[in-house]
Amino acid sequence: MGIIVYLIPVALLLGGIGLGAFIWAVKSGQFDDPDGAAARILLDEEDKPLQ
């Protein structure tokens, strides 16, 4: 049972990283324009030929 002393903090840490990533995404405006983000993948940007 001693292993849970390590496992619980590790699980919390991993979950916490995910939560942190989500909060970062919300705060940096990733969710500000969901319609636009969905539409932008359909736009064909004209690729410039490699020099």
Q: Shortest Cβ distance from residue 3 to other proteins (Å)?
A: 13
Q: Shortest Cβ distance from residue 48 to other proteins (Å)?
A: 15
13's enclosing H/E stretch is helix 4-27
Q: Shortest Cβ distance from residue 42 to other proteins (Å)?
A: 4
Interacting residues toward other proteins by CB under 8 A: 1, 8, 11-12, 15-16, 18-19, 22-23, 26-27, 31-36, 39-40, 42-43
Count other C-beta atoms under 10 Å from residue 44's C-beta. Answer: 5
Residue 50 per-residue DSSP state: P
Place of tokens 């020099």: 51
